[in-house]
Each structure stands twice: as C-alpha cells, then as structure tokens.
Amino acid sequence: MYSRAKIIIKGLVQKIGFRKFLKDNALKLDIKGYAKNLSKNKVKLFIEGPKDSIDKMIEICKKGSDISLIKEIKVEIENYKEEFTSFEIK
C-alpha cells in the first residue's frame, strides 16, 4: 500500500542542512517528493511512497537531525497520486 503526506516542520530547521538530512532519509526509504524552505523556521515536506516508509519518515521528522530543534510538526495524509519520480530539495 502506498501513501502520500504533506508535512510542515517548525523549529530550528533552516541553514543547518536539514533538507539534505530529509532527502538522505527519503532516498533510504524509497520515498519520492520534495523538501522546501517556507517562511522563517519552517520546512515543507511533500512525500509519496510505501505506507510503512511514510510512517518511518514522519517519525524521523519528529525527532529531527542531531543539530535541528523541532518545535512543531503538522502532518496531512492524502491519497497516493504517483506524482513524483525522485526526491528534490527546492
């Protein structure tokens, strides 16, 4: 079963390599989509892939990297659309 999620991560997540951290984990989990900086201290992650991989990625987002500080995370699960063919940093 495949799933899709839109995730907004708030905290110390910009200018510390956080989007690369997300991409590296997404590639390990066979997840496609993108990570994009939003306004100050926010990153948007839009991902598709196997449901168990999406669930693992959500947990990774909650914990963050060694140098990030996650203050808030919002997750919206959507129907899988097979929209993405790779994972990009925007």
Catalytic residues: 19, 37
Per-position DSSP letters for 24-81, written without gaps between them:
HHHHHTT-EEEEEE-STTEEEEEEEEEHHHHHHHHHHHHH--SS-EEEEEEEEEE---
Helix (H) or strand (E) holding 87: strand 87-89
C-alpha to C-alpha distance for 48 and 20, rounded to whole angstroms: 17
